[in-house]
Amino acid sequence: MRSRYVAYCLDEEQYLLESWHVSTRPASVKADPAVQWIRLKIVDDVSRDDQVEFVATYRVNGKAHKLREKSRFLFDGDAWFYLDAIK
């Protein structure tokens, strides 16, 4: 989870794709240059369910916003992969 947040901060689109599970991975990921990521707070780490709830704070045109999401991850082979967000 944290490594994907850092990848968003650094516009590491290749890492985002590589850490996304093949069953739900999009063809491409494009970073929005107007978004400046500020902070990540893990709200709940429900490891028995392979879920992480977080709040990511970001700034666009000088105004702060928050993204709250519960993400699912899947251990496949020898690594964890982002699967999807729970709506």
Q: What are 61-72's pLDDT values in tens digits?
A: 999 999 999 999
- pLDDT over 80 at 87, yes or no: no
H runs (alpha helix) in 1-87: 2-9, 13-18
CB 80 within 8 A of CB 72: no
Q: What are 24-44's pLDDT values in tens digits?
A: 999 999 989 999 999 999 998
Residue 47 DSSP SS3: helix
Read off the pTM.
0.87
CB 24 within 8 A of CB 16: no
In this structure, what CATH number is given to the domain that contains residue 52?
3.10.450.50
Question: What is the domain range of residue 25?
Answer: 2-86
